Amino acid sequence: MQQFVQHTKEPTTVHPGRLRVAWRAAHEPVAGVSRRIQLLAYFVPLVVLPASIWRLPAAFADGRGLGERMYIVFLSVLSEAFAFAAIGLIARWGEVFPRWIPFLRGRRVPRRAAVLPATIGAASLTLLFTLLFIASQVRGTTIRGGDLPADYPSQADGWEAAWFYVCYAPLTLWGPLLGVLTVAYWKRRSEDTR
Please report, in tens digits, the pLDDT of each residue of the chain (194 residues total). 455 444 444 445 555 678 888 777 778 888 899 999 999 999 999 999 999 999 888 888 878 889 999 999 999 999 999 999 999 999 998 998 888 889 988 899 999 999 999 999 999 999 988 988 888 878 878 777 788 777 777 777 778 888 888 998 999 999 999 999 999 999 999 987 65
What is the structure's pLDDT at 61? 80
CA 63 remoteness from chain centre: 30
What is the structure's pLDDT at 118? 97
Angstrom distances, CA of residue 157 to CA of 59, 129, 150 = 22, 23, 11
What is the structure's pLDDT at 119? 97
What is the structure's pLDDT at 16? 61
What is the structure's pLDDT at 7? 45
What is the structure's pLDDT at 48? 96
What is the structure's pLDDT at 193? 65
In the chain, the amino acid numbered 9 is K
Closest CA to 60 of 45, 46, 47, 71: 71
Query: Phi/psi of residue 50, each to 5°?
Result: -60, -40
